[in-house]
Structure 1
Amino acid sequence: MTINMGTTDRTLRLVAGIILIALGLTGVIGWWGIIGVVLVATAAVRVCPAYLPFGLSTLRKK
């Protein structure tokens, strides 16, 4: 797959994912913390499957 996430998008997803996982593990939001795993995974591989059908990308143009 082609990379379609820029640095800012990747950083925001990573931070939000870690926060959601932590809130889920502490019982604040319960099992909804699983959503954080998806955010961390997409940040790790730098590909957002939701962007693909629409041809979106947050990478800077060269």
Structure 2
Amino acid sequence: MLIALVFFGPKTPWGWVGIVPLVTGLAGFCPAYALFGIRTCKLPKP
């Protein structure tokens, strides 16, 4: 819905916010997680 705001409807910066989760999901990598050192994937025990 947010991405649609970029092309249809009011041209606001909020429309570009929708691209962030889209790119993160497609890439499988979240730069914010790396920046803050967050890990949601459990590491296997040795």
TM-score (norm: length of structure 1): 0.50
Matched, 1:33 2:15: yes
Unaligned stretches of 5+ residues in structure 1? 1-18
CA displacement at 1:55 relative to structure 2: 1.3
Higher share in helix: 1
Matched, 1:53 2:35: yes
| Higher RCO (CA 8 Å, separation ≥ 6 residues) | 1
- How many residues are aligned here? 43
Structure 1 residue ranges, 4+ long, deviating more than 4 angstroms after superposition: none
**Relative to 1, partners in 2 of residues 1:31 and 1:54: Cα closer, same or farther, differing over 3 Å?**
closer
Unaligned stretches of 5+ residues in structure 2? none
